[in-house]
Each structure stands twice: as C-alpha cells, then as structure tokens.
Chain A
Amino acid sequence: MKRIDCLKAIYPELEDCAVVTIMGAVAAELYSLGHRPNFFYLEHAMGLASSLGLGIALAQPDRKVVVLDGDGSVLMNLGGLTTMARYAPPNLVHIVFDNQVLLSVGGGAPGGYNWFTTATSTGSDLAAIATAAGIRRSQLVRELGDFTEAALDGIHGDELTCVVAKVEAEMPASFHMDVHMLENRFEFPRALQRMQAKTATGGRT
C-alpha cells in the first residue's frame, strides 16, 4: 500500500476538516494533491502533531480534526496516545502511516532511505499500543480498501479513531511545497474561523 494512494482516497473528505500533518513525506504528498488553507503542515517538533490535533479537537468540538501522523513521530510521543485516549474527543481521527523507517529525517542519507528503521519494523504494533492506551476504536490496515473504509468511518463517525496504515517506505515524488511555514501558520487558524462561522450560520456565509 502506498501512502499517496491512501491520501488520494480520503482527500475529497478533508474539505471540511482541520487537517494536521507531520513534516516530510506526508506533508509533501498531501500538498501535491492540492493545498487547502485548512491543512497545517507541522514541519518540525516531531511527535506533537497528535497533541496539536488534540488541542484543536478539544477547543472546537464541532470541527472534525484529522491528524496525519507517522510511526517515527508517534514513537516520540507515545504518552500522547494516553492523553488522547483519556479525553477521547469524538471529533478526532488519528491516522498513522507506518512505513517502519525514519524516511523523512534520513531519506537522503548515504545508504539509502531504509537505513534507519523504527521499532515497528521489529514487531512494535502501534495499533495495539493505541488500543492498550485506551483508544477503543483503533486498527491496523494493510490494504487500500480497508484503509479507506476505516479512515472514512472515522471521519464521518463520532468516536475517537486511530488507523495505523502499513505503507511502503517510498520517498514522495517531490518535497516541493510552495507555502511558507509562517504563511501556513496564519492561514490555518483563519480557515478554522471561517469554517466555524460557516457552521454557525448553517452553511450560509
């Protein structure tokens, strides 16, 4: 399963969501499908995308929040899974692309991009960890059809959902992103405000 195909499968459903991605390949591939102001790409602070999404979800309970995370980042903030489970906002979907390697932080290094594997390559099961952390609706998927069903169930459902998707350790076609970090930082909350206003007026803007 390829990460880009997973992103393509859910992309149309992200229009009304607050979307938070990690740095690197996930950000670049989502961007390549078409940037929207309701996408925030966290280009550093590995581990905190999930916490950031939790903050949005708690502060705007009517807004669906989708976090696009990775195995390396989640492993840096396993405690955050317990915090997420503890407050279990029904409007939060945590998607973890598990390629079993620190692709984006060592991808260009000598030795090729499979040189530094994460512990998921030796058996650590992030979906099981999420379940054990208390996220009742968490599952591991390996096929695109299963991913799409699980992710869309989460996006359209009303229960905290964690989907761990086993994907190939493949570099994105390009890391090009023509949106500056700070531009993105300011447009994102404005987009959330506009969406909030739209919700408050029942869709009339």
Chain B
Amino acid sequence: MPVSVANSGVVYEALKQAGVRLCSALPETWLVHLVRMADEDPDMILVRLAKEEEGIGISTGAHFAGLRTALLMQNHGFLQSVNGIASLALLYKIPLLLMITDRGTMGERDPWQTEGGKYTRRVLDALNIVRDELNRPEEVASKVAKAMALAQSSLSPVALLLGRDLMWEEATA
C-alpha cells in the first residue's frame, strides 16, 4: 500500500510533540498508519468513532477535562461534522486540531472522492476556520505545533489538510 509509513510517523510524532493525548478517528486509506500508531501507543487514548461528528463532542469533553486532542478524519468526515463544529466548537469556543485528509484534489484517481475536494477549503473558510496544508515532511512538526498553539490560544478549531504529496507515495512520479 503506497500510503507513506515514514511521513505518517512524522505526523504522529508532531502530534505527540504538540501534547496530543487523545485522538479520535474514523479511518480512510491515507490515515491507516496514523491510526495504527495511535492504537499502538500506550500513552495515547484512541477513540474509534462511528461517525466523525461524535469526535467534536469527545474532544470538547476531553478539553474540559484538561487533555489536548486531535481529530483524524477525511474531508468528507469534516463535512459530516459541520453542525457539531458550528453549534458546539464555534459556539462554545472550543479548541480543536482538525487533521483532514485532502482527498479529491489534483491527482485523485478514485472517482467517488472527487466531489468533496472541490469545496473542503471553501467550507473551512465559510466557518472562519484557519487552515494550512501539510505537503512536505520537513514542514510538519512546525506547522502542527503552530496549529495547536493557535487552537489553544484562540479557543477555536484549526485545520491542517494532509496532502497527497505527504501521505501518498506514487509508484511512478
């Protein structure tokens, strides 16, 4: 499977460095190694969700209880979570680190992934959620740390889009 193990490890290490102690997740192909790393880490609470919006509630509860969290989801999982983000996280000023796989963008080969990618950014922008992209392994640690810092200081969701060039290793360039 050409999902990058090495770069998944870079992302996971960055989450740990940012103080993340609980990850909620609903997997998709690009997230398989990240979810496995969270599962194998005895110091990480991994919550496997039935639907992504639950993660907004779980992260809010964990924040109230003093834990830093990250939410691992596909962009369609983000779209699924929008009401929870608006009517809980934004309404109540809850910090969230949204780690969103950026499917349906340039290079996408799965026809079923091509719709949501057209407006993931615009929906994030409509919600005034500050976003950045992770495309190269050398930028991951710094951007994750900064995203967590902003989420905590602004008491708001912040999104990092996990890009194809980071998560996927093409057989031929």
Contact = CB atoms under 8 A, between A and B. Distances in A.
Contacts of B93: 182, 185
A189 to B, nearest CB: 4
A56 B62 contact: yes
Contacts of A131: none
A107 interface: no
A52 B57 contact: yes
A47 B22 CA distance: 21
B81 to A, nearest CB: 10
A44 B45 contact: no
Contacts of B56: 45, 48, 51
Interface in B31-73: 45, 47-51, 53-67, 69
Contacts, number: 113
Contacts of B119: none
Interface residues of B, number: 31
Interface size class for chain A?
Answer: 35 or more
Contacts of B47: 54, 58, 83, 87
B65 A83 contact: no
Given A48-B56, A79-B51, A83-B48, A53 B88 contact: no
B50 A79 contact: yes
Interface of B: 21-22, 45, 47-51, 53-67, 69, 83-84, 87-88, 91-93
9 contacts: A48-B88, A51-B54, A59-B45, A77-B54, A80-B50, A83-B49, A83-B50, A182-B93, A192-B65
Given A59-B61, A80-B51, 8 more contacts: A44-B88, A45-B56, A45-B84, A45-B91, A55-B61, A56-B65, A189-B63, A189-B65
